């Protein structure tokens, strides 16, 4: 990772300013969080004001809950600490907040410092228990460092330029483990796993794609192999995508595949459109519907936003209706279902913010 990576990130953000995609607050430093969602669609314009209020309440709650060491750690269940902390940090970034600037500037700095200090000798970004396995937290934390690179002060940037290449090597090496043909190209819970799943693969592809966009030495072939695994998870009968090849389609899995297709050069191809149609046919009715609700909401929001048009309007309308109603008075989102319960309110709240702030277009990975 070189300084050119940082320069490219700053150049891209300046281009975004000229295009009107990033608010002037990021460069001049007025009140953070002043970004506005893209509400050009009449179907979504009515949600603008309540959406702004809900997201600011959520960020205020998250900021209050941050631990002294910069992390978000569940009391009595310190698992996936780096992963959940990275999701919380990306929630602040997604609403237009930047490191060292505005009311949440130091919140972000402290969190980034925690992630940077969490790298083990083997390159993994892990702190606390592993939950399902270390690769989930590692992939998410690698994505966070790639996304925040170029936004931080020179001293933190120097640390990112040291830590991030090591983290990327872990992801690339895990993909190279010997696997049977059906699992080849994907990722799983452990860095030495011999099988793969679409969930862990989705996070890995996002981290690699983000880093490659920034100029990191990520081989194009690694992303293409990951996408080939995603395609083996396609359910030809239904048009959605499964957790592993040969399984049944699910909306979180389909959202993951949709976003990977969109980010990896297959914008609106037949499989992406089939995935979008599958998502719209299986819209949730309330918080907690389906498996892994928060995860599914996050990926389907990003994926349908990339597709645009009616795919985004219909999904976003349902998402806003459900999530605005479900938010607690203190700003958090409750935990509903086994997966959300394991992650806790830090997980559900950060994922809700990330899903609902896609149209603010503040994180580079969200750009259309």
Buried b (16+ CB within 10 A) or exposed e, 299-318: bbbbbbbbbeeebbebbbbb
pTM of the complete model beyond 0.75? yes
Backbone dihedral angles phi then psi of residue 99, each to the nearest 5 degrees: -60, 135
179 Ramachandran zone, left/alpha/beta (phi>0; psi -120 to 50): beta
Q: Estimate to the nearest angstrom the gap between the alpha carbon of 98 and the chain centroid.
A: 17
- Calculate the average pLDDT of the chain: 88
What are the domain boundaries of the chain?
Answer: 3-23+35-366
Distance of CA 329 to CAs 228, 274, 357, Å? 44, 38, 19
Question: What percent of the chain stands above pLDDT 90?
Answer: 77
For residue 71, give the DSSP letter: -
Q: Judge contact between 293 and 347, C-beta under 8 A.
A: no
Is residue 287 within 8 Å of 336, Cβ to Cβ? yes
| pLDDT computed for residue 131 by the predictor | 60
Q: Is 281 exposed, middle or buried (0-12, 13-18, 19+ CB in 10 A)?
A: exposed
With contact defined as beta carbons under 8 Å apart, do 225 and 171 qualify? Answer: no
Distances (CA, A) of 94 to 31, 34, 142: 15, 11, 16
DSSP state of 366: G
**Closest listed residue to residue 280, CA positions, set 254, 246, 247, 259:** 254
What's the CA gap between 119 and 163, in Å, rounded?
Answer: 7
Q: What is the pLDDT of residues 131-157, one digit of tens each?
A: 667 999 999 999 999 999 999 999 999
CA-CA distance, 242 to 254, in Å (whole number)?
Answer: 7
Distance between CA atoms of 4 and 7, rounded to whole angstroms? Answer: 5
Q: Are 80 and 340 in contact (CB under 8 A)?
A: no
Q: How far apart are CA 357 and CA 352, in angstroms?
A: 8
Alpha carbons 108 and 104: distance in angstroms, whole number:
6
Helix (H, G, I), strand (E, B) or coil at 189: coil
Local confidence band at 178 (pLDDT 50, 70, 90 cut-offs): very high
Token pair belonging to 223: 């992303």
Are the CB atoms for 225 and 208 separated by under 8 Å? Answer: no
What are the percentages of helix, strand and coil residues in the chain, rounded to 5? 60, 5, 40
Q: Crossing angle for the helix pair 309-326 and 270-281, nearest 10 degrees? A: 40
What is the second-level CATH architecture of the domain 3-23+35-366? Answer: Alpha/alpha barrel (1.50)
**DSSP designation for 364:** G
The tokens for 253 are 């899995």
Query: How confident is the model over 18-41, as pLDDT tens digits?
Result: 233 222 222 223 334 446 565 557
**Residue 249: helix, strand or coil by DSSP?**
strand
pLDDT tens-digit readout, 247-270: 999 999 999 999 999 999 889 999
pLDDT tens-digit readout, 277-317: 999 999 999 998 887 899 999 999 999 999 998 999 999 99
């Amino acid at each position: 990772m070189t300084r050119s990576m940082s320069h490219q990130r700053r150049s891209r953000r300046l281009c975004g300013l000229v295009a009107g995609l990033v608010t002037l607050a990021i460069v001049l430093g007025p009140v953070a969080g002043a970004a506005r969602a893209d509400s050009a669609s009449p179907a979504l314009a009515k949600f603008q004001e309540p959406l702004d209020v809900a997201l600011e309440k959520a960020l205020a709650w998250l900021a209050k809950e941050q631990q002294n060491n910069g992390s978000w750690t569940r009391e009595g269940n310190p698992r996936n600490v780096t992963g959940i902390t990275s999701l919380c940090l990306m929630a602040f970034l997604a609403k237009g907040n930047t490191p060292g600037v505005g009311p949440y500037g130091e919140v972000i700095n402290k969190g980034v410092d925690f992630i940077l200090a969490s790298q083990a000798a083997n390159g993994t970004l892990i702190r606390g228990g592993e939950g399902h396995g270390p690769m989930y937290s590692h992939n998410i934390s690698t994505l966070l460092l790639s996304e925040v690179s170029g936004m931080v002060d020179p001293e933190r940037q120097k640390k990112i330029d040291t830590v991030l290449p090591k983290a990327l090597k872990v992801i690339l090496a895990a993909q190279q483990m010997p696997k049977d043909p059906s699992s080849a190209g994907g990722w799983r819970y452990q860095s030495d796993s011999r099988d793969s799943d679409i969930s862990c693969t989705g996070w890995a592809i996002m981290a690699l794609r983000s880093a490659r966009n920034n100029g990191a030495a990520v081989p194009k072939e690694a992303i293409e192999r990951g996408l080939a695994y995603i395609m083996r998870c396609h359910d030809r009968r239904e048009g959605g995508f499964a957790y592993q090849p040969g399984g049944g389609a699910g909306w979180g899995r389909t959202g993951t595949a949709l976003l990977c297709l969109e980010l990896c050069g297959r914008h609106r191809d037949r499989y992406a459109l089939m995935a979008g149609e599958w998502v719209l046919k299986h819209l949730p009715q309330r918080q907690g519907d389906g498996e892994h609700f928060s995860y599914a909401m996050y990926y389907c929001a990003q994926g349908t936003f990339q597709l645009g048009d009616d795919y985004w309007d219909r999904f976003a309308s349902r998402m806003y209706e459900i999530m605005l109603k479900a938010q607690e008075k203190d700003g958090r989102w409750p935990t509903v279902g086994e997966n959300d319960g394991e992650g806790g309110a830090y997980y559900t709240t950060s994922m809700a913010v990330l899903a609902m702030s896609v149209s603010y277009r503040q994180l580079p990975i969200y750009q259309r």
